[in-house]
Structure 1
Amino acid sequence: MYELAHPWILILLFLPLLMRFFPAYRETRDSVRVPFFDTLVELSEQQPGVGAKVLRRDLAQRFLVGFMWLCLIVGAAKPEWVGAPVEQQKSGRDLMIAVDLSGSMETRDFELPSGERIDRLDAVKIVLEELASQRPSDRLGLVVFGNAAYLQTPFTDDHAVWKQLLLETEIGMAGQSTVFGDAIGLAIKLFRENDSDKRVLIMLTDGNDTGSTVPPIDAAKVAATFGIKIYTIAVGDPASAGEDMLDMHTLERVSELTGGRTFEALDQGALQEAYRTIGELEPELYETVSFRPRQSLHWFPVSIALILYTLYHAFSAGRNWLWHRKMGHSDGR
């Protein structure tokens, strides 16, 4: 299907009609008065004329001027070939994962089906890799936190890169403490830089907040105003004490304020079940984007005008050359 991107430009087609209301172009030439005018006329074999002479276009010139004006105006209106509608599906949710890298995450209290015991961070990595594989439509991001919160991976559709950057995280690389509230604050900033309306933050920690600039509950209240739902997963030991104590009250309150849920994952199976439940609560979303490919054809009428202009003047030049050559031969005889 053909369309004009700027159809209003076609109004200019009638612009030449206004020229009828303007006087004809006048040009004066210098002349020399000579006493032997009659003799000059006789020798030149030309008859003198009286008054002004109005130049008129021949039929070919009239056609070309009108047709070339039409081509240029149509080209300026930008004709386009509009193809059939094309639909694409893209992710409808931004899913940010925040992982605690404090020193307590090296506790080896998770047991694999083979009987091997691994630390908490390795157990989290295994389950997160499965999560990424099961949610191909989500844009994933990764925040790590310890003494401070850092962006490890911005939101991306490339889950292979996301997994690789997840595997490169190490215990203690962000410090030994747990700034739980600052991690929420960083996630809020990242969500605000994206235009998705479906925002989910999954936070994994095995301790309690140890000096965030913004307390976790206050950060959760801000997250709620931006439509961010927070799911918290406790991977620590409820019986721990001191700095390693698991603050379940704060985790539950953060989830409650944002409309999420809190899970306790004391082993590998419980951790997988937590992600499975989150998957059911937050099913995959797709946004369908429809567009019609457009190909500009403005060059076609412009090319026709240029070709006709070139051919006409080439033909006129050739005709004049032949005429002068013929006249030269006649004078020679």
Structure 2
Amino acid sequence: MGGPDRIEKVYDYLVRIMTDTDMIQLPFMQHKMGPWIAKKRTEEVQKKYQEIGGGSPILKWTKLQGDLLCKELDKISPQTAPHKSYPAFRYVDPFTEDALAELEQDGVEHAILFSQYPQYSCATTGSSLNTIYKYYKKKGVPKNIKLTLIDRWPTNTYLAQAFADLIKKELQHFSEDIRNDVVIVFSAHSLPLKAVNRGDSYPSEVAATVQAVMQQLNCRNPYQLCWQSKVGPLPWLGPFTDEALEKYVKQGIKNFVMVPIAFVNEHIETLHEMDIEYCKELAEEIGIEKIRRVPAPNVHPLFIKALVDIVKPHLNLSIGVNKKFLLRCPHCVNMNCFHSKKWYSEVCT
């Protein structure tokens, strides 16, 4: 999705989200309701970005991750070098369309479309891939470019190891006598229940990542998967992270480590929602004794190793597209999804 690096970009960012029917389905007149909601929320959201330094660091981290990935790929696969990363955001620059135009100008021969959401959702990866489909549907894929697709990677071993290593480091801040009893709260962006009931695979894939991480930790701590960032009045997937923390404190549990399990770099939901709203404000309000937040993987060496591990099989064009991606949700009603998946099945080598 990207994130505004300056507060002046917040309104346009919100408008693009609120008018994207692949991301959000408003009950009526979305082209008018979306901008109205964006305008109502802009000041509040700007304030949050101001409190984390004036903008989102997501582009900074994405560029660093891409640079480190390509540096390693140049070493292990000189025959396909030079490698270059093109950040492609949905709702703020650098936009997906601009990234695709740039790689064509650079004469790229093989483009690996690499979703940076480890767990697939129709609203996130699906929406991003629909945008790429719409771009090439209008102008056609250049004949000299081959496309392959990485649509999800929830159980990659190095990804799980990176999170496990980060959790171990945070647990060291608790005294040895309680360390193994600290509750690990895995938190991910929630999803409207109507999307879950359509068959969106996101909840199960997030849970799979949690299990992979806990296996790396030998399951020695109690843990719970929770959900954050609910927007609007419709029912969303729970339990919600803030409510879970409140209920655990009432049960007498007062030591926690929070893990942003679906986020690969720092942004508004880690730096504000988790750090300020949960670990500071809520923790003080409900009487948590100690709460630590695990950093997002960012440029952790094991995370970069995960990226390399995922991309490497695509370099020789032996993998085109994951068949799971081509399977629509059982109750899918989005014709963009139908046409997009059909197109990917035809163009990905």
Shared fold (TM-score, shorter chain, > 0.5): no
- Pick the TM interval, shorter chain: under 0.3
Normalised to the residue count of structure 2, the TM-score between the two structures is: 0.26
Normalised to the residue count of structure 1, the TM-score between the two structures is: 0.27
Which structure shows the bigger proportion of residues in strand conformation?
A: 1
Give the number of the structure whose alpha-carbon radius of gyration is greater. 1
Which structure shows the bigger proportion of residues in helix conformation?
A: 2
